[in-house]
Structure 1
Amino acid sequence: MKTRLPLVAALVAMTATPLAAFDLSQMTEEERMIFRSEVRNYLMDNPEVLLEAINVLEQRQAEVQAANDVTLVETNSDELFDDGYSWVGGNPDGDITIVEFMDYRCGYCRKAHPEVSELIESDGNIRYIVKEFPILGEQSVLASRFAIAVKAVEGDEAYGTVHDLLMTMRGEVTEEGLSAMSEEQGFDTPAVFDAMNSAETETIIAQNRALAQRMAISGTPSFIFESEMVRGYVPLDGMREILAEVRAEG
């Protein structure tokens, strides 16, 4: 490749003077034009430099985001891991806690559901917490109200059953359909529907939404693996890799 003499001369001049001379505002108009032209020519001849710079920038941004997420988890740990009302599944004494913010109408939540279940069952040492986070419309809210009410009226085991049913439910979410589901499970349907419209249920949903906002979570599914936050769907193998990393660090 030919030597670009103007650029070489400019660099020599810069190194022979104080570092402040590198400030474009200190250059003459001709020097600025030469410098800009040479930078452009260099980038056109070496476009891979741009990709390298973008990769470095993205890596730095990811590191900053990860550090910020750790702080968010630490700051909100009580609400995430021990709020007193969210359903806890898996192994209550597990060495790893996974928190999932989910919506029953979310396609990726539905895709993740069997993989999360497989992860919990195959691992055997995961404490799993569900955060009802209905953000996809009235049917999402209706489904979450029903699930929360079932937990309040019928208990944790019933909630686990309903959670699975709602995640695999076909068609629209309606009060008639939820009533039929309740009857099929032998629940106290009038009590469940009363609980659906209670102030307690409304408070749980509002608190989950406020927590998600503090955690900078705007979509579902979103996961917390101990102190590591993952926004979006993660396949089973990816979740296993994250668990291995978290355990190795812990």
Structure 2
Amino acid sequence: MTWTILVLVVGVLLYLFGGMLLPKGDEKKPSAGKVVAKKCISVIAIILIAGSMCRLYMPYYLTAINPAIVQEMVNGMQEQQQAEKNKQIRKFVRSEGDKMMRDAPILGNRDAKKTIYVWTDFSCPYCRRVHGEIERVLADRDDTRVVIKNFSIHGPLSDGPARAVIAANMQDPAKAAELTNMLMTREFYTQDDLKDQDKIAEKVEANVMKMAAEAGLDTEQLKKDMDSDVVARELRNVRDLAQRFEISGTPFLIIGEQAFPGAIPAAQIETALDEAE
């Protein structure tokens, strides 16, 4: 819309400029060059003005005739944008996949040939839903691994658990996977906890540590590692990649050459894995 209005303004200005090329009143007869220049400028100006007016009016016309046409156009543009985004993601993952996995917790077969990258948040209900779908997929196949990218967007409800599982991965990858499953399937804060925002982080950490101990992790070492450079690097990597891939929410999955914003069912995950190289 902005570009269309700008083109319209340019067209009007060109038309006015063309009119200034020829003399008025008692001025001498204009040269042939000026006449040709005015006509050319006028034609260009009219084309710009007419084209802009059509672009401005067309959506209203199409909506009046058939609203479905506009929706189809919008859907087509969105599909093209998603296809281009998928292309960029695919290229990046192929070249930087190892770095994306370096410090991240991994579920399933760590040596599997097929990989799911999932941007997730332990406090996100949709993330918990898709985690259940992923677990169903992993239960039936050994050729898949899931790289957990903890995208903490809910403050203390997200940050503490995210740091804990990354730190747990430094200590024992298998136990980090177990802690991840615990945090995705159990509650680590209550509604009453939310009433005291000043202490919510402490309560969340205490509950996370109980689960970590249950998973067999050294909780004292875990607390130290949560503030380590490794954890900070992984969280920074998650944010940087989210910005690169234009990820604004969770969950977000990358499977093979496809990207999936939002929670998707196990069947769709299976299909994407079957289509992946």
- Give the counterpart of 2:137 among 114, 119, 123: 119
Larger gyration radius, structure 1 or structure 2: 2
Q: Compared with structure 1, are the counterparts of its residues 54 and 77 closer, same or farther at alpha carbon in structure 2 (3 Å cutoff)?
A: same
Match of 1:217 in 2: 247
Aligned: 1:180 with 2:198 = no
Q: Compared with structure 1, are the counterparts of its residues 78 and 93 closer, same or farther at alpha carbon in structure 2 (3 Å cutoff)?
A: closer
Aligned equivalents of 2:66 and 2:126: distance in 1? 40
> What letter is aligned with 2:110?
P
Contact 1:109–1:221 (CA under 8 A) maintained in structure 2: yes
Match of 1:152 in 2: 170
- Give the counterpart of 1:140 among 152, 155, 158: 158
Q: Compared with structure 1, are the counterparts of its residues 95 and 46 closer, same or farther at alpha carbon in structure 2 (3 Å cutoff)?
A: same
TM-score (norm 2): 0.67
Match of 1:60 in 2: 80
* Number of corresponding residues: 222
Aligned: 1:99 with 2:129 = no
Percent identity between matched residues is 25
Aligned equivalents of 1:27 and 1:188: distance in 2? 70
Aligned: 1:161 with 2:178 = yes
- Give the counterpart of 2:270 among 231, 237, 240: 240
Q: Please give the per-residue CA displacement for 1:197-250, whole angstroms capped at 9, x wherever unaligned.
A: 22332222122222222222222111111232222211111112222332xxx3
Gaps of 5+ in 1: 1-20
Gaps of 5+ in 2: 1-41, 190-202
Contact 2:87–2:257 (CA under 8 A) maintained in structure 1: no
Q: Compared with structure 1, are the counterparts of its residues 57 and 96 closer, same or farther at alpha carbon in structure 2 (3 Å cutoff)?
A: same
Higher relative contact order (CA 8 A, sep 6+): 1
Aligned: 1:25 with 2:46 = yes
Q: Please give the per-residue CA displacement for 1:176-196, whole angstroms capped at 9, x wherever unaligned.
A: 212322333443222211212
Contact 2:117–2:253 (CA under 8 A) maintained in structure 1: yes
- Helix, strand or coil at the partner of 1:97: strand
Cα RMSD over matched residues?
3.4
TM-score (norm 1): 0.73
Aligned: 1:129 with 2:129 = no
Match of 1:3 in 2: none
Q: Please give the per-residue CA displacement for 1:128-148, whole angstroms capped at 9, x wherever unaligned.
A: 211222121112101111112
- Helix, strand or coil at the partner of 2:263: coil
Q: Compared with structure 1, are the counterparts of its residues 42 and 146 closer, same or farther at alpha carbon in structure 2 (3 Å cutoff)?
A: closer
> What letter is aligned with 1:77?
G
Q: Which moved more, 1:135-144 or 1:224-233?
A: 224-233
Q: Compared with structure 1, are the counterparts of its residues 52 and 110 closer, same or farther at alpha carbon in structure 2 (3 Å cutoff)?
A: closer
Aligned equivalents of 1:165 and 1:245: distance in 2? 30
Contact 2:188–2:204 (CA under 8 A) maintained in structure 1: no
